[in-house]
């Protein structure tokens, strides 16, 4: 069970009504198990939890598992029974959009390498001058499943670690290097968020695409 320090409102205060609907910007780590702590960043969560609700799939996170609640930051422990689905923050009866999130060890819709993941990489990473033969950047060929699993100079085969899509560890042997590059977290190349070319060069891939890649890894990084 993750433990984070911080104020714990435990529903004792009445939240300030948000001027706009709550919105989830990111959730870290990229996947977690029951009992782990997740950090939800966003906007308009309200100044304190009060009667607001954090839902993970069909499970409502109980007050005792809410570690921090502020207008832009929620930290909570994933409750027993949570399954991969969506994370939703509801403030004063107004709900955020569901943010897809994979819970390790739970059933979820299977993400296909061929249909879901590889098209993202081919369109944004395996492009001319980047991760394509004969001289792929970082020795990381993303044109084939074999090339992706072989990895490259920075992370070796740990560029994709089946079952572990986290980006939180600076250790190249922990988590998946591709997630660190896409999130620009513990990036060995400094401030160089991938991809560096294509339509998302200035913004990074949309979070929905990164989540899809992370879910595929969490499901075992299969050649499916």
CATH number assigned to the domain comprising residue 35: 2.60.40.10
Q: Are residues 123 and 53 located together in one domain of the fold?
A: no
Q: Is the confidence at residue 215, as pLDDT, over 80? A: yes
| Domain stop point among 101, 124, 150 | 101
State percent of the chain over pLDDT 70: 90
Distance separating the N- and C-terminal Cα atoms of the chain: 32
Domain that holds residue 55: 23-101
> Within its chain, how far is the Cα of 76 from the centroid?
15
Q: Which residue has the higher pLDDT, 141 or 169?
A: 141
Helices (H), 26-174: 118-124, 145-150
In terms of domains, do 80 and 120 share one?
no
Are 73 and 150 found together in one domain? Answer: no
The answer to whether residue 14 sits within a structural domain is no
Say yes or no: 86 and 40 in one domain: yes
3-state class percentages of the chain: helix first, strand second, coil last, to nearest 5 = 20, 20, 60
Same-domain check for residues 148 and 89: no
Residue 92's Cβ-count burial label (10 Å; 0-12, 13-18, 19+) is: middle
Q: Please give the model's pTM, rounded to 2 decimal places.
A: 0.63
Final residue in a domain of this structure, among 101, 124, 147: 101
- Residue 107, in any domain of the structure: no
Asked if the structure places residue 18 within a domain, the reply is: no
Residue 60 in this model has a pLDDT that exceeds 80: yes
- Considering 49, 77, 101, which residue would you say is the last residue of a domain? 101
Judged by average pLDDT, the poorest of 47-51, 54-58, 220-224 is 54-58
The domain tally of the chain equals: 2
Q: Indicate whether 177 belongs to any domain.
A: yes
Residues 13 and 69 sit within 8 Å (Cβ to Cβ): no
């Amino acid at each position: 069970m993750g433990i984070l320090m911080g104020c714990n409102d435990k529903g004792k205060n009445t939240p300030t009504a948000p001027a706009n609907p709550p919105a989830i910007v990111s959730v870290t780590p990229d996947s977690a198990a029951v009992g782990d702590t997740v950090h939800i960043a966003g906007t308009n969560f309200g100044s304190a939890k009060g009667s607001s609700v954090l839902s993970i799939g069909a499970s409502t996170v109980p007050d005792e598992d809410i570690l921090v609640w502020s207008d832009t930051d929620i930290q909570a422990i994933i409750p027993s029974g949570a399954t991969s689905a969506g994370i939703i923050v509801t403030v004063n009866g107004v709900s955020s959009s569901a943010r897809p999130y994979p819970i390790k060890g739970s059933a979820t819709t299977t993400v296909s390498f061929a249909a879901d993941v590889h098209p993202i990489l081919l369109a944004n990473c395996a492009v001319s001058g980047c991760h394509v033969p004969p001289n792929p950047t970082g020795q990381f060929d993303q044109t084939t499943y074999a090339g992706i699993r072989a990895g490259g100079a920075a992370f070796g085969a740990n560029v994709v670690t089946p079952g572990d899509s986290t980006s939180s560890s600076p250790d190249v042997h922990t988590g998946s290097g591709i997630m660190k590059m896409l999130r620009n977290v513990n990036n060995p190349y400094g401030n160089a968020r991938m991809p560096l070319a294509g339509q998302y060069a200035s913004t990074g891939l949309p979070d929905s695409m990164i989540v899809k890649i992370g879910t595929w890894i969490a499901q075992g990084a299969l050649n499916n």
